[in-house]
Chains A and B, each alone.
Chain A
């Protein structure tokens, strides 16, 4: 079956612009996660959705970052007024959300470059 997909695969934007990153999880997966991978910080958790709700937003680095999920499926991560330190690979993962199944399945990522 289809895995997690993300778009765009690459995004170059100017400092100060807003960007939207999209994630399509594996069909039927109720849990969805966003992570950020950067050279200096490694892999960092950003936010977790269960259905359309976000019980854990603790990793969002500032109020410029927001995310939503609709229909228990597609999620969008929005970064407003981008800064150079936002440059990173943004990874989305999904999980079945079934008790006892803890592994997460990752998409290919969106590489964001802020110039």
Chain B
């Protein structure tokens, strides 16, 4: 079956540091890949997405590139802010149907200190 593996957290960084959160996946077919973010006390928000190999998703300074050869979708940001402190989830939709369920990674807690 499908699965998503994220790097273990928590991750603690100082403001303006570089961020990488690793994500690898196992799926049949050609999945779409997503990063969702959950800020404290809030629901899940879509951060970015990529629907085919070599696509780069980007939003709010975050980027992730769909790498089919390494089955990866690592999240990066060049300079984090305190406001980026949240839980980040990597997810895939296996694309077997247009409306399939999401399979999530276990989440990575990011804390950014001033």
Contacts and interface: CB of A to CB of B under 8 A. Distances in A.
Tell whether A pairs with B: yes
Interface string A64-78: 000000000000000
Interface stretch (B21-29, B66-74, B99-107): B99-107
Interface residues of B, number: 24
Contact of A45 (B34, B42, B89, B102): B102
B44 interface: yes
B60 to A, nearest CB: 16
Interface stretch (B8-16, B45-53, B76-84): B45-53
Interface in A22-54: 31, 33, 35, 42-43, 45, 48, 50
Contact of A42 (B43, B98, B104): B104
A108 B102 contact: no
B43 A102 contact: no
A109 B99 contact: no
Contacts of B51: 100, 102
Nearest to A100: B98
A103 B36 CA distance: 10
Interface of A: 4, 31, 33, 35, 42-43, 45, 48, 50, 56, 59, 91, 93, 95, 97-109
Interface of B: 32, 34, 36, 42-46, 49, 51, 89, 91, 93, 95, 98-107
